[in-house]
Chain A
């Protein structure tokens, strides 16, 4: 059983990332459930999607203290969901900072020292410049795929099958770009 929680900001491609993992599960012949929320939260709000892969899955939702892996596309979102991580779980986050509206208006302050906070609480924390690597691959939009490449390496998942899943889930004209993003994430993490 593998529980992956994906956290990001609406518009960052968390849905696509969870669907790639779902495709991976299908190709690997496993049972799988995904849970996502569409609608209002997508408008720049916090977005969390759940991926559960195993022999038999009941709940589509991961609960607090049960995620094997947290993939975060933004550092504040990593902190928001960190309590979902189980003991010795892996937390992998993009080091990018996107200000939420209360921080833009000055009603709240974007907290400092997020990296130190997270690494102080769990041994398996990886901050990577996923957005920069994605831009090297050709587009900031491929940040999600860079992170999946890094996940593949850190969790020892099948690289070929995951690449196949990526190729199957992205539009054909962006396939090469995304596969490059995937490889950069895998190689550099």
Chain B
């Protein structure tokens, strides 16, 4: 049976068909839907972990315990999980272990464009890269075969264009894999120097065995057209672009991007006019071929930045893309905080108080955008807390800074920064914007929401008690819609010499779908103060501001900032 399927759902399906028993993940675009779809299958266990490092450790534990296991994350998540990855490569597995990593060329929803293929080379683990949904499903199954045959974790890499595209997928039955017996073996699983030295020998031999396998594996293949034509080496979604842009070219499609099957490509190169490598981001394949002494051209024609496209390939080879209508510069439509977003009032206050804001990763990064323009820094998950501490230490409080983090991000890796700030006494102010969900990735549960990945009730990690247990004595809880209370709490916190935490609570506006009284305008004086909160439901009309009733949620933040009481709730 065939089904049109999102690639991430196809990966989940592949894991199900491969008999995967345990999956652990942290949400991150474009990888989130894998766990969400996998958990819907019968007879499997899946969970949201608080971060990617934990997710990979859970999967390693499950694999050593004898079942097939998977961990999923976005590219930057693998930075967090790199620690267990590099050593799991030494221990090897028992049941198969696959780690899915989703790169984001073009940064559709990310803070950088790092290329996770280098993790495969750095950790000495094989990496597969599918081109579309059906291949993704099949590669998951292949990845488990490789994992168990070569006793290694396997990375499965996808990019946004693959992860978030749909294609026709052929459904198969689940293969029931039993539990492999776990046998105690300190030499294999206890990585202290004496044991790890011996496992490093195994690792180096495995690299050689994998290269031999890669050169004959069916997932790497040459597609010949004509030896008078050029040859193009490519993988992932770029293969699909090459087939459309250069239909006459000979193509070497790499399914296993690490180890690069250089000896097989050397053979391919002999049968084509000239060899090119087309790849997104870094010259990973190109460098491997050049290191093997194979002449080829690649990044001299393409940038390291952004996505490859059919027109870019055509342009590189002097072919024209037929265009009849010119592109036009029109006002940009950047993403904005939703109408009713509980973060809006907080950023209004921080901006008003002219504070330096160390921001973090999530919807609230949008607090950097005009007109709120409140966020000064954003680096990685949890960085707000550590950076705020560093800034305080650097200037002895001369920079009036606060850290802002979301509930899910705080649990991911903000809490360790808080422990550091308490322990090393920087007296930072931390605002936890608790909207009871993982917002930007599309509303996933986390340890403080009271529900698990399946939506079932789960024990709650209480953020206030967690902060107190870290040694925070100065803690306030406020309603994020109560702008005056937020301002009062922030003023008190920044005046305090101790580490202060403010938890601003209000569920994400998109979670509450009930219809509520909207705001209406009465006797607007046209002062424009409410325009400073950047609400998409408010615009300037001819006789004062206008509320878009389709978007307004009646949160009342505009009324709280209006100096003339011109904004009131309907029915009041």
Once the chains bind, are B311 and A101 in contact (CB under 8 Å)?
A: no
CA distance A188 to B2 in the complex (A): 35
**Binding site of B, secondary structure by majority: helix, strand, loop or mixed?**
loop
Q: Which of A32, A38, A76, A87 contacts B331 (CB 8 A)?
A: A76
Segment at the B interface, from A77-85, A147-155, A156-164, A172-180: A77-85
| In the complex with contacts A38-B442, A40-B29, A33-B335 CB distance below 8 A | no
Once the chains bind, are B168 and A32 in contact (CB under 8 Å)?
A: yes
Once the chains bind, are B531 and A105 in contact (CB under 8 Å)?
A: yes
Q: Which of A32, A45, A108, A121 contacts B335 (CB 8 A)?
A: A45
CA distance A97 to B416 in the complex (A): 46
Residue of A nearest to B366 (CB): A43
Once the chains bind, are B330 and A111 in contact (CB under 8 Å)?
A: yes
Q: A103: which B residues are within 8 A, CB to CB?
A: 331, 539
Segment at the A interface, from B238-246, B445-453, B458-466: B238-246
| In the complex with contacts A101-B334, A101-B370, A104-B536, A82-B166 CB distance below 8 A | no
| In the complex with contacts A60-B132, A60-B165, A101-B534, A121-B325 CB distance below 8 A | yes
CA distance A2 to B363 in the complex (A): 36
B565 adjacent to chain A (CB < 8 Å): no
CA distance A126 to B126 in the complex (A): 52
Q: Which of B30, B161, B311, B363 contacts A60 (CB 8 A)?
A: B161
Once the chains bind, are B330 and A80 in contact (CB under 8 Å)?
A: yes
Once the chains bind, are A104 and B539 in contact (CB under 8 Å)?
A: yes
Q: A104: which B residues are within 8 A, CB to CB?
A: 531, 534, 536, 538-540
Q: Please classify how large the interface on chain B is, using the bins under 10, 10 to 19, 20 to 34, 35 or more.
A: 35 or more
Q: B550: which A residues are within 8 A, CB to CB?
A: 140
B512 adjacent to chain A (CB < 8 Å): no
Q: Mark A96-122, 1 if CB is under 8 A from B, else 0.
A: 000111111111111100000000011
CA distance A33 to B167 in the complex (A): 5
Q: Which of B132, B237, B336 contacts A43 (CB 8 A)?
A: B336
Q: Mark B140-178, 1 if CB is under 8 A from A, else 0.
A: 000000000000000000001110111110000000000
Once the chains bind, are A45 and B334 in contact (CB under 8 Å)?
A: yes
Once the chains bind, are B161 and A39 in contact (CB under 8 Å)?
A: no
Residue of A nearest to B337 (CB): A43
CA distance A100 to B539 in the complex (A): 10
B521 adjacent to chain A (CB < 8 Å): no
Residue of A nearest to B537 (CB): A104
| In the complex with contacts A33-B132, A85-B324, A86-B324, A59-B241 CB distance below 8 A | yes
Query: Which of chain A's residues 54-83 have a Cβ closer than 8 Å to chain B?
Result: 57-61, 63-66, 76-77, 79-80, 82-83
28 contacts between A and B (CB under 8 A): A22-B4, A22-B166, A23-B4, A26-B168, A35-B164, A37-B164, A39-B441, A40-B29, A42-B442, A44-B536, A45-B333, A45-B336, A58-B239, A59-B244, A60-B161, A61-B161, A63-B311, A76-B333, A80-B328, A80-B333, A82-B325, A83-B325, A83-B328, A87-B322, A101-B334, A101-B369, A101-B370, A107-B370
Question: Hey, which bits of chain B sit against chain A, CB under 8 A?
Answer: 2-4, 29-30, 32-33, 108-109, 132, 160-162, 164-168, 237, 239-241, 243-244, 309-311, 321-328, 330-338, 363, 366, 369-371, 440-442, 531, 534, 536, 538-540, 550
Pairs of residues from A and B, 5 with the lowest C-beta to C-beta distance, nearest first: A39-B109, A39-B29, A45-B335, A60-B165, A100-B333
